[in-house]
Amino acid sequence: MTPSSRLDTTFAALADPTRRAILARLALGEASVTELAQPFAMSQPAISKHLKMLERAGLISRGRDAQRRPCRLEPQALADANGWLEGYRQFWETTFQRLDLLLDEMKAEKGMKPKGE
């Protein structure tokens, strides 16, 4: 997979609340499919489908223990997605600073104390 198509599958895998909740659970430690299925009140096949998408995106890996095959969170894909978004940090920080300034000016006009004073 190219870095761009890797980002496609990562962002697509993150576009689901159950898959994001599975990642949040795995951030606390590895877990089997049975352990993952329990809190979600979902069938094991339904959870397995989500796990396949997460595995294809490189967001999780499965252990070799044939019985349990525990799932583990893999950090690289998350770090790469974060890296892409970080490219826009300056953009939103500048925008939010401009909004803060505007708010301060509006408060000053109303005779209120500007923020941070």
Site for a copy of itself in 19-58 (CB under 8 A): 20, 23-24, 27
Contact pick of 5, 67, 110, 111 for a copy of itself (by CB under 8 A): 5
DSSP calls for the chain: --HHHHHHHHHHHHSSHHHHHHHHHHTT--B-HHHHHHHHT--HHHHHHHHHHHHHTTSEEE-S-TTT--EEE-HHHHHHHHHHHHTTHHHHHHHHHHHHHHHHHHHHHTTPPPTT-
Which range touches a copy of itself (CB under 8 A), out of 34-42, 46-54, 76-84, 102-110? Answer: 76-84
Among 65, 66, 67, 89, binds a copy of itself (CB under 8 A): 89
Q: Which of 43, 96, 103, 112 binds a copy of itself (CB under 8 A)?
A: 96
Chain positions contacting a copy of itself, by CB under 8 A: 4-5, 7-12, 14-17, 20, 23-24, 27, 73, 75-76, 78-79, 81-82, 84-89, 91-92, 95-96
